[in-house]
């Protein structure tokens, strides 16, 4: 790679990271400010991925689809500086309704040279339950306000009509609008940097250099994939069984042909009337992550890599749901897809691949109304453990593979809702045994400080846990226990909605990673 191209990629990556840090420092909601549940990227004038922040891989598959959906609805020739576009439509490139993508065109010398794009998990966008992640949803209409690809602002500001739309749809409109304004600010900060970068060589030369970057990443990726055996290599994983729901299995066959990775998900389960389905952005995120794990250190990470991926997705399936499927709990299905994908990759490149990660995260939303009538709402993300590897134990208490979220501090939680975090610790012994042990999961205990607090809980790996590699053991399953003040004890399922009263406690225990090699 020429030094000039390498430097350009580093500078673009730095601008994407600047966007990301602006979001994390200035966001209103703790799930972003503390939990880092957001992703930023830059795109070429044609809508191909140019640069990524160090963010959550789970969300990165949504940004390319969202940018393309905006360009399909609003041709680039009609865009102007200061325009603001957005969407959260899962069936037009998105993930689930709380994830709103904001896309802003970037101009230099009066030419469109790039796009900034950010995706942020918003606290509430409507739905039947606070937090917009109802565990009992059976169709998208239960999950909140769906925003198709739309222009929502001009000259750097949201339209007043759009603000009113959010205000009447969200339980916490000030929080949502504050986070949306932060997305705009992050995008404009990146735009200033890109415009300066383009001005150094001129807009035409900058556009040509961006195309050369994409071509270089494509060439690197094709060369790496051409060195792998053809396959096919197969992997399979499934969510916990739920009575009456039917199977929720992801199956993948990987083949490598002419420098291309073909990921065929034929045989995956049909979509179900529950919120565990995911849309195309889910397998795209998983496969993009998988491709990057195959690349050598220092390889370019941009849309040229995606040119080397072919997805074959069965329609109306749990890995490629069709409207009006419910999708708010799609995260654990994407992790299931990732687990199946890594199984297949371990057959193609086994010397480097570790045992399976926990394959789950808990997402918990606490909400209610205080004594003054003001609504409160906060979302928690609880990670699991990493699988043991060929030469080391797995990490404990960490967000793995397509997840990269941080745990939320007690101070942030307790400032937002009348809950107390009594303990947060590693769940000792929950990782799988092995020559190299799986990392342990997490145990967190919460206490309600008021009556009538609603809690929506989404988790996975209660019954079906990750399997060890090369003789390694399986981890302990996840668990959620409610300890009532009257002494009763309730064991909850993976997707539950409950009401807590003063003094009630909730104990969250996440699964660990699998072990590698015989103990």
Q: What is the rounded distance in angstroms from the CA atom of residue 270 to the CA atom of residue 315? A: 8
- What is the average per-residue pLDDT within 193-200? 94
Better pLDDT: 258 or 404: 258
- What is the average per-residue pLDDT within 3-26? 93
CA atoms within 13 Å, Cβ hemisphere of 216: 19
- Name the strand (E) or helix (H) holding 376: strand 375-382
- What is the average per-residue pLDDT within 183-202? 94
Ranking 6-10, 379-383, 444-448 by mean pLDDT, the lowest is: 379-383
- What is the average per-residue pLDDT within 265-269? 97
Better pLDDT: 320 or 496: 320
- The residue behind tokens 């949504």 is 62
| Local confidence band at 215 (pLDDT 50, 70, 90 cut-offs) | very high
Is 475 within 8 Å of 511 (Cβ atoms)? yes
- What is the average per-residue pLDDT within 80-85? 96
Query: Burial code of 303-334, b = ≥16 C-beta within 10 A, e = fewer?
Result: bbbbbbbebebbeebbbbbeeebbbbbbbbbb
| Local confidence band at 297 (pLDDT 50, 70, 90 cut-offs) | confident
Q: What is the rounded distance in angstroms from the CA atom of residue 268 to the CA atom of residue 236? A: 9
Residue 2 pLDDT exceeds 80: no
Q: What pLDDT shows up at residue 146?
A: 97
Q: What is the rounded distance in angstroms from the CA atom of residue 297 to the CA atom of residue 412? A: 36
- What is the average per-residue pLDDT within 17-33? 92
Percent of the chain with pLDDT over 90: 75
Q: What is the rounded distance in angstroms from the CA atom of residue 205 to the CA atom of residue 259? A: 29
Percent of the chain with pLDDT over 70: 99
Is 439 within 8 Å of 389 (Cβ atoms)? no
Residue 136 pLDDT exceeds 70: yes
Question: Which tens digit of pLDDT belongs to each residue from 332-378?
Answer: 899 899 889 988 988 887 777 888 899 888 889 899 998 888 899 88
Residue 56 pLDDT exceeds 80: no
Residue 404 pLDDT exceeds 80: no
Residue 175 pLDDT exceeds 60: yes
| Local confidence band at 106 (pLDDT 50, 70, 90 cut-offs) | very high
Rounded to 5 degrees, what angle do the CA atoms 105, 109, 113 make?
A: 35
pTM passes above 0.85: yes
- Paired residues of 364 in beta bridges: 380, 457
Residue 3 pLDDT exceeds 90: no
Q: What is the rounded distance in angstroms from the CA atom of residue 380 to the CA atom of residue 396? A: 18
């Amino acid at each position: 790679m020429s030094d000039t191209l390498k430097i350009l990629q580093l500078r673009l990556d730095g601008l994407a990271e600047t966007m990301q840090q602006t979001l994390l420092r200035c966001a209103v909601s703790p799930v972003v400010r503390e939990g880092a549940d957001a992703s930023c990227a830059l795109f070429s004038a044609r809508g191909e991925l140019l640069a990524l922040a160090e963010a959550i891989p789970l969300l990165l598959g949504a940004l390319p689809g969202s940018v393309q959906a905006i360009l399909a609805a609003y041709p680039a020739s009609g865009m102007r500086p200061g325009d603001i576009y957005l969407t959260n439509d899962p069936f037009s490139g998105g993930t689930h309704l709380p994830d709103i993508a904001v896309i802003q065109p970037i101009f230099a010398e009066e030419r469109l040279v790039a796009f900034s794009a950010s995706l942020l998990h918003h606290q509430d966008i409507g739905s039947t339950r606070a937090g917009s992640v109802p565990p009992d949803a059976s169709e998208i209409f239960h999950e909140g306000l769906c925003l198709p690809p739309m222009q929502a602002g001009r000259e750097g500001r949201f339209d007043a009509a759009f603000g009113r739309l959010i205000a009447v749809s969200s339980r916490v409109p000030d929080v949502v609008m504050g986070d949306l304004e932060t997305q705009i600010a992050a995008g404009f900060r990146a735009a200033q940097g890109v415009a300066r970068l383009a001005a150094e060589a001129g807009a035409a030369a900058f556009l040509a250099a961006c195309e050369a970057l994409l071509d270089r990443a494509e060439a690197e990726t094709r060369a790496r994939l051409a060195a792998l055996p053809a396959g096919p290599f197969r992997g399979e994983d499934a969510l916990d069984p739920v009575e009456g729901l039917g199977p929720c299995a992801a199956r993948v066959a990987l083949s490598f042909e002419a420098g291309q990775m073909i990921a065929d998900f034929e045989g995956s389960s049909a979509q179900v009337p529950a919120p565990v389905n995911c849309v195309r952005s889910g397998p795209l995120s998983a496969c993009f992550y998988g491709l990057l794990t195959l690349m050598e250190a220092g390889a370019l990470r941009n849309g040229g890599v995606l040119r080397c991926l072919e997805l074959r997705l069965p329609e109306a399936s749990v890995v490629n749901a069709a409207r009006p499927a419910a999708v708010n709990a799609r995260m654990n299905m994407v992790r299931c897809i990732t687990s199946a994908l890594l199984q297949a990759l371990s057959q193609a490149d086994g010397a480097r691949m570790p045992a399976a990660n926990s394959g789950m995260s808990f997402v918990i939303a606490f909400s209610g109304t205080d004594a003054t009538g003001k609504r409160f709402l906060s979302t928690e993300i609880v990670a699991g453990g990493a699988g043991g590897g060929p030469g080391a134990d797995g990490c404990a208490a960490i967000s793995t593979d397509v997840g990269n979220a941080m745990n939320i501090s007690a101070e942030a939680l307790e400032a937002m809702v009348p809950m107390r975090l009594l303990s947060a610790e590693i769940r000792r012994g929950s990782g799988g045994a092995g020559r190299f042990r799986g990392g342990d999961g997490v145990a967190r205990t919460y206490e309600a400080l008021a009556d009538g607090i609603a809690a929506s809980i989404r988790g996975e790996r209660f019954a079906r846990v990750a399997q060890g590699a090369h003789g390694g053991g399986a981890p302990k399953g996840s668990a959620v226990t409610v300890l009532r003040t009257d002494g009763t004890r309730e064991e909850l399922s993976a997707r539950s909605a409950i009401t807590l009263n003063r003094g009630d406690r909730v104990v969250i225990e996440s699964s660990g990673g699998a072990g590698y090699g015989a103990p």
